[in-house]
Structure 1
């Protein structure tokens, strides 16, 4: 898989904390993921997870969120 390729995590229809749990599991083997989650609590949960782990977080269009490990340091 190319280094800039993000893994898609489909968490639509799942209530928190499931989108964050799915994201954490996916990040074990990926450097970047895009999470699709429609629970209104998900953005805050995903951002908190990213902050706690030292990952970059970005809210994208619609119900999509990017989490990325920054390996620059």
Structure 2
């Protein structure tokens, strides 16, 4: 079976796909699967969904350690 999995992943990589794993609640799992199926089609519906998701989920980057320390220093003691 490992050979079949490797073959599948190779074919997906050739298509330009990237494997992504997420942890989700059972209620969100089916929603995420539906979103992935729509995006995989790469059609007009996928483009609209990408636009909606991009607007609803602005890109953020994790704080650097220095930024985190500065934020912690500004917090009042609890």
Alignment TM class, shorter chain as reference: under 0.3
TM-score by length of 1: 0.28
Structure richer in helix, relative to its length = 2
Relative contact order, CA 8 A, sep 6+: which one is greater? 1
Determine which structure has more spread, i.e. the larger CA radius of gyration.
Answer: 2
Q: Hey, which of these two has a bigger chunk of strand by percent?
A: 1
TM-score when normalising by structure 2: 0.27
